[in-house]
């Protein structure tokens, strides 16, 4: 038999006792933790060892998983706020790190364990990606190794690569009917894309010829696609790239050549967003 934390009456699947007021109180407690967590992270004052009475009261009525979930939600909303401009700078990064360290210090969990339950809404990835874009825009290359099979010129600098990317080439017999609804971006370091800018729908899929799956790699000179199995490789100079168009399932690269007008790469929105940002600033290195 389960008893309600608020009214101490039994909870039955068959109804009988009305707990709607209790449920309303519970959701009030949860949103209190959401808001408190978010606000304190952003102010840099979050301290789980000295929370106000209102927080303690909320904790008392919620299960431990409801509390950790509410903290994770507040963390996620704070992260979205910090990542709002497309980057998380050092000062913003410190706010996040302080919050995590405070939770680790005041619990008997490891940092990995804390990061695990904080990540239920995927905020850790948002953090890493937006930190990486910030550092990239500050002139720092990501610390990764080029994939095997990539042959770079002398002085060419590797930036980043993504595995298991689907690639399509625009069929040259059909004209490019129109732009996606998302907007088009010229390669320039001055612009950094926000996550929300990936909204356009690509032109009709029948116009795209599938090349296959492979590894997409970006250097400061070229864009490479290293096809798996039978799929062919692609190598294009970045100086031939006219513009990028973020689309709902990846991004389109428009090339200044009649024989190869455009490629489309299918990636999840976070990866596509990173790849677009890297491409836009790549030639600055
Ligand atoms: Zn109740």
**b/e map 116-132, b = 16+ CB within 10 Å:** eebbeeebbebbebbbb
Cα 4 to ligand 1 centre (Å) = 5
d(CA 165, CA 228): 10
pLDDT at residue 183 tops 80: no
H or E element: which one contains 155? none
For range 185-200, the mean pLDDT: 66
Percentage of residues in the chain having pLDDT higher than 70: 89
Residue carrying the six token digits 């100079």 = 237
Tell me the pTM: 0.83
Q: Which domains are assigned to the chain?
A: 2-137 (no CATH), 158-284 (2.30.29.30)
pLDDT at residue 43 tops 80: yes
Cα 39 to ligand 1 centre (Å) = 30
d(CA 247, CA 249): 6
Kindly state the tokens that stand for 130: 């937006």
Cα 12 to ligand 1 centre (Å) = 11
pLDDT at residue 181 tops 70: no
**pLDDT of 244-254, one tens digit each?**
888 888 999 98
For range 23-42, the mean pLDDT: 96
Kindly state the tokens that stand for 146: 């080029």
Cα 118 to ligand 1 centre (Å) = 29
CA dist 235 to 54, 73, 215, Å?
59, 42, 12
Kindly state the tokens that stand for 231: 């799929």
Contact 33/68 with Cβ under 8 angstroms? no
Phi-psi region for residue 262, left (φ > 0), alpha (ψ -120 to 50) or beta?
Answer: beta
d(CA 158, CA 279): 12
3-class DSSP state of 144: coil
Contact 224/237 with Cβ under 8 angstroms? no
pLDDT at residue 238 tops 90: yes
pLDDT at residue 27 tops 80: yes
């Amino acid at each position: 038999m389960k008893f309600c934390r608020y009214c101490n009456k039994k909870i039955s699947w068959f109804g009988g006792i009305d707990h709607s007021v209790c449920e309303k109180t519970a959701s009030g407690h949860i949103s209190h933790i959401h808001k408190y967590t978010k606000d304190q992270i952003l102010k840099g004052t979050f301290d789980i060892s000295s929370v106000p009475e209102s927080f303690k009261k909320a904790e008392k009525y919620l299960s431990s998983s409801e509390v950790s979930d509410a903290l994770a939600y507040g963390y996620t909303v704070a992260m979205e706020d910090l990542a709002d401009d497309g980057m998380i700078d050092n000062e913003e990064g410190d706010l996040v790190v302080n919050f995590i360290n405070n939770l680790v210090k005041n619990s008997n969990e490891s940092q990995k364990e804390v990061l695990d339950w904080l990540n239920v809404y995927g905020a850790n990835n948002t953090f890493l990606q937006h930190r990486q874009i910030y550092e990239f825009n500050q002139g720092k290359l990501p610390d990764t190794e080029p994939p095997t099979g990539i042959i770079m010129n002398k002085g060419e600098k590797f930036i980043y690569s993504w595995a298991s990317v689907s690639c399509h080439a625009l069929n040259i017999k059909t004209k490019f009917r129109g732009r996606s609804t998302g907007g088009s971006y010229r390669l320039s370091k001055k612009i950094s894309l926000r996550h929300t800018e990936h909204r356009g729908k690509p032109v009709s899929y029948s116009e795209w010829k599938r090349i296959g799956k492979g590894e997409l790699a970006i250097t400061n000179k070229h864009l490479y696609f290293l096809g798996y199995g039978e799929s062919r490789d692609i190598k294009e100079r970045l100086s031939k790239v006219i513009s990028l168009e973020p689309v709902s399932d990846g991004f389109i690269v428009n090339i200044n050549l009649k024989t190869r007008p455009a490629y489309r790469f299918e990636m999840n929105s976070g990866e596509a967003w990173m790849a677009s940002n890297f491409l836009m600033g790549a030639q600055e290195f």
